[in-house]
Each structure stands twice: as C-alpha cells, then as structure tokens.
Structure 1
C-alpha cells in the first residue's frame, strides 16, 4: 500500500503545487523574499534536526521497530529533546501553552469524531452499507461503473464518517464485490484511501479540515470555499488512479516483479 501511494502522492503534490502557483500569480500574493539556493541551504541546515522527525517515524514503522502510534510517541520524545537540548528554544512555559492549545484543538475535533462514531453505529444497526453494496451489485456488471459507484459511496461516507469508522464499516462489505469484478485489492485500497482523504476535508465532519481551522482560527466554511479548487485537483487524481491502475500498481509490480 505504501509503494502504491508513492506515485499518486508525487502526482498529487505536483498538481497541488501547480494550482498554488497559479493562484499566487493570479491573485498576486505577496512574496516574503526571493528564492535562492543559498537561502534554501541555510534553511535546510537550520531545520536539519527537526527534519529528523519524519525519518524517525517512517524509519521506525517500516523498519518494524514500532507501530504507527508508538512512532508518533517516539517523535514527541525526540521533538522535546530537540526543542530543549539542541535548539534550546523550548521552555516549560512554552510547552504548557502548547499542551493547553493542543488539548482545546483536539477536543473540538474529537466532538466531531464522536458524532461520526454515533452515526457509524446507527449505520451498522440499520445495515445501510451492506444494502448499498448489494444495490451496486444489482445495478451493473461493468467494472468501470462499479468503480464509479464505489467512489461515490466512499466520497459520501467520508463526508459524514471518520476515516477509520468508514473503513471498518464498509470495506469488509464491499471486498467480495471487489474480488468478484477482479479489482486488485491494493488498487482498491488506494482508491478507498483517496476517497476518505477527500471526505476528511469536506464538511460537515471534515476532521482534518476542522483541525487546520482550529489551529489557524479560521471559519471552516470560509476555508472550504477557498479549498474547493484543491478538492477538485484531488478528485481528478482520484479518477486517474481509479481508471489507470498502473499509476498505483506500476511501482508495486516493478519492485515485487509481478
């Protein structure tokens, strides 16, 4: 799954950068300073210790040393060490303020997650995901149409459910359908991931968007209007990944020789 996401991730990042550049030029956004390789090197040197955090997290996870949750905890310990000992800019007062601010922001997001969990419980009791999966199976026997309907299903669910809840509720229900139509499970996994990633920044739940807005202290609906072009880019990427399997499976097949 990780390898399958590398090329789509690079494509998505490039498309986002292109859109950001277009918007910056169109609306004449201010520039802080001119770009130069010397400045880039100086910033890189200054941030080199902080840039070790992704290395610690990903290296620990893919090295089989820690789980994802343990990796996050390890990164927190490393960040405290870097802040207190290496940079010497972090103080107990700063740490206290960060903890209070993080608690408030987490509480706001967890209220949305809790409501999403309740909705997920209701959907489970009502067996709506199962009914929708059966409805898809009864509508068509075309893999192209099935993939489109599955995209719509996960996009809608991602708007109202937290990602983990949507995966637990729906993926086991549609996997037999995926196997029946000969869709590669890794390909399908990446499709689900992209759908839920889009849903997590699309109200009303939008836990990722809510977290960003809580940090920036910006209204979520105002942010959503500005975010629509970027959501459009992600939807275009989703269609590319959905209907051109080699985008996600090419690197996997090359590495594993299948």
Structure 2
C-alpha cells in the first residue's frame, strides 16, 4: 500500500496537481484500489484533520500578523533593524537578516515574510548596487527562522500531530532561532564583499570596508526606532509570557494577538484604516485557506499510511539498517531534507511525524527536540534545489533566474547544514529554555 500511495502522489505532482489535491487524490485512489474502506471515510478524515482546537491558532496568528503588517509595523521594524546593524559591512543585507528575526516572531511563516519583506528590501538592495541574485539569496535564507521562532505555524502543526506541548515547542525555538540568525549574519559579513556587489562598485571603491554600509546620516537613530517598534516587539513577549504564566493557552494566545494587533494599529500607530483592515482579512483568509487545504489532505494521507502499516514497516526497515542513534539521526536529517525539497513543510510534517516519532522516542530522543529537528530540516528545504519554494519566490521578486539565485545561495545553504547538525546533536540548544521556564 505504501508504494502505491507514494506512486499516486508523485504521479499527481508530475501532472502539476496542487499539493493539497495531490495528497487527497493519492489517498482516495489507493483506498479505492486496494481496500474495502468506504470512500466516505476519506471525507470524514479530511474534516477530522482540521477540527482539533489547537489548529485554530493558525488562522488567528496569521490574521494577527496581517493586521500588524497593515497597521504600520513593517517600516518600524525595518527602521529598528537598520539602526542596529546598518553600520556593519553589508549593512542593508544585515538589516534584511535581522528583520527576518523580528518578523518571524509575528508572522510564523517564511513565505509570508519573504512576500512582505522581499518587496521592500530586494529593490532597496538592488538600488544600493547589491547583485540581484545575492539579494534574492539573502532574502530567501533569512526567513527560514520564521518556522523556528514562536509563534511558528509549523510548530503548532507538529504539536497537534505528535501530542507535544505547543508551549514547550514555542520556547524550544527561541535559542535555535537566535543562533540561526547569528550564523547567517556571519555568513553575510564573510561573503558580501566578494559576492554581494556589482563589479563596478567594487572597482570604484577605495575602502572596501565601507562597502554596503548605510551612511550614518541615512541610518535611523536607535532609541526613536526602538520606541516606534516597541509595540510590535511586545507581541511575541505577550504570547510567550501568557503561556509561561498560565494566563492563556497557545490557541487563546492567538486570539489575544489579534486583539492586540487591532489595538496597536488603531490606537497606537493609527495607520490601520478600514480599507487596510479588509485587505488584511482577505490576504490572511487566502493564506489560511491554502494552509488548511494542505493540512486536511495531509491528514487523510497520513491516515492512509497508518492504515496500511507503513509506519511500522518503515520502523522495521530503519532498525534493520542500524540502531545507532547518531547514524539514525543523520539518516533522518537526510530524509527530511529530501522531503523538504519537494513537499510543503506542513504536509511533509504530518506525513513523516507518525513514522519518525515512535522510532526515535524509543531510542530516547525528546519529542520537543525531535520537533525542532523536523522543523529546521524542512525549513532548510525551502532554499534547497530543485524546488526551494523560498528561493523561487525571492528570485521572482528580484527578477533573476532561479539558477543564478541558487549559485548565490550556496554559502547560506552550507550555513544551514552546519546549523542543522548543531541542532540535531546538541539537544540542549533546544531543550534548555523549556526545561528552565516550564520544567519540561
């Protein structure tokens, strides 16, 4: 049953069927061909896949991010990031990276961050003589932090599928997110002079250390920028603080985030108009619809896999290769990277988690740590050829060929692979903060 499920899914994808429909069709066709299961069960599983109360946090967090963005958050967070790192080598590229950390704590989605930040920062980088391909590579690599940083949509999905505490997953992502941004900023510092700028700029510049720095008189001042961005920065603290002190659950925190976003946009920034609010609802509704369609279909596909005994067969096959945890984790990383190249992250997570969770937890891997490993790997898949959804989107915004963006992105891919190994083999990076704050 497993090969037929996979074959039907791959066939649908080759026919360019959207992934949500491809997952559902593969499941229904396989159930129809090889089982006596009534096909009405398929409809029931699709509905059941999106009924867990915790999943309500996804549309609410997306809406909160959309309202904050429409209410004037973007320019204030960009000003803050520019005031902090604009004076460094490759200052605008560094601003791009640091902004991704700020936005990751609000949107929870890498694609959403690229769509909003990329349309501002990529043209600005090109205007400062950055190579278009390099601008695309930086803009694609930095927002990988969004699925790691709370409130991560992917973390919520993993928590629902695995039964793991979403609050613990949120806290587990904080230190890994900061570590990733720090590593990307180092990569920008090392590569921007050699790969980031047009040859004309380098040839006409006598002091190469000044390349890419935002002139001091053009940089926003730090304290006014911090005051302006503070209401936006408080939102992630409000979410995490409320969960930590038991004021509300993660799902309730998402509703609080929506109310807070409305208050900030209407009463503090005063830039949220009815027209912008309607637009934010429409854009958020479209994104939620796409995500929920994929989640529902992936739940059906995962149920079909489980019904066919695929997780058990996969576990036996894995243990047949080795029971050495170090090697197993390496194999898991490789499998997740491959999945992330071709399958939408949330769908891949729902399909893969039931297979990996019993195997690795039986060997002593903490479910929270496993969640971070899965999310990190699927995030790196966003910039990994041949698909690389994040890289494709940023290349489109930058108006360069995908192959050019891929060539410019290899230093960040190397950073991502090193980061992946650190997260995998040093579990304390993920588990220290939840153990201190939540005792988990």
Smaller-chain TM-score bracket: 0.7 to 0.9
Q: Conserved in 1, the CA contact under 8 Å of 2:298 and 2:350?
A: no
Please show how residues 157-196 of structure 1 align to structure 2 within 5 Å. Answer: 157-196=339-378
2:139 counterpart of 1:139: no
Q: Conserved in 2, the CA contact under 8 Å of 1:61 and 1:68?
A: yes
Partner deviation per Cα, 1:171-213 (whole Å, 9 max, x = no partner): 3443443244344444434323322333455578877x39976
Partner of residue 14 from structure 1, selected from 182, 185, 188? 182
**Residue 177 to residue 118, structure 1, CA distance change in 2 (3 Å):** closer
Aligned residues: 257
Determine the structure 1 residue equivalent to 2:236: 54
Determine the structure 1 residue equivalent to 2:332: 150
- Counterpart Cα distance in 1 of 2:298 and 2:361: 29
- Counterpart Cα distance in 2 of 1:223 and 1:63: 48
| TM-score under structure 1 length normalisation | 0.74
**Residue 180 to residue 57, structure 1, CA distance change in 2 (3 Å):** closer
**Residue 79 to residue 188, structure 1, CA distance change in 2 (3 Å):** closer
**Residue 14 to residue 125, structure 1, CA distance change in 2 (3 Å):** same
Determine the structure 2 residue equivalent to 1:130: 312
- Counterpart Cα distance in 1 of 2:317 and 2:362: 15
Q: Conserved in 1, the CA contact under 8 Å of 2:381 and 2:388?
A: yes
Report SS of the residue matched to 2:216: coil
Q: Conserved in 1, the CA contact under 8 Å of 2:391 and 2:405?
A: no
- Counterpart Cα distance in 2 of 1:49 and 1:68: 20
**Which stretch of the first structure deviates more once superposed, 93-102 or 153-162?**
153-162
Residue 128 of structure 1 and its aligned partner are, at CA, apart by 3.7
2:245 counterpart of 1:63: yes
Residue 170 of structure 1 and its aligned partner are, at CA, apart by 3.8
Superposed CA RMSD in Å reads: 4.2
Residue 150 of structure 1 and its aligned partner are, at CA, apart by 1.9
Determine the structure 2 residue equivalent to 1:239: 421
- Counterpart Cα distance in 2 of 1:120 and 1:223: 36
**Residue 199 to residue 98, structure 1, CA distance change in 2 (3 Å):** same
Residue 121 of structure 1 and its aligned partner are, at CA, apart by 5.1
Residue 136 of structure 1 and its aligned partner are, at CA, apart by 0.9
Q: Conserved in 1, the CA contact under 8 Å of 2:391 and 2:402?
A: no
Residue 257 of structure 1 and its aligned partner are, at CA, apart by 9.5
Q: Conserved in 2, the CA contact under 8 Å of 1:202 and 1:224?
A: no
Residue 247 of structure 1 and its aligned partner are, at CA, apart by 3.9
Q: Conserved in 1, the CA contact under 8 Å of 2:341 and 2:382?
A: yes
**Residue 136 to residue 220, structure 1, CA distance change in 2 (3 Å):** farther
**Residue 72 to residue 184, structure 1, CA distance change in 2 (3 Å):** closer
2:75 counterpart of 1:75: no
Listed as ranges, the gaps of 5+ residues in structure 1 are: none
Residue 241 of structure 1 and its aligned partner are, at CA, apart by 2.4
**Residue 46 to residue 220, structure 1, CA distance change in 2 (3 Å):** farther
Listed as ranges, the gaps of 5+ residues in structure 2 are: 1-167, 198-210
Partner deviation per Cα, 1:200-253 (whole Å, 9 max, x = no partner): 55578877x39976x969799579725554343222111122233444455667
2:216 counterpart of 1:34: yes
| TM-score under structure 2 length normalisation | 0.47
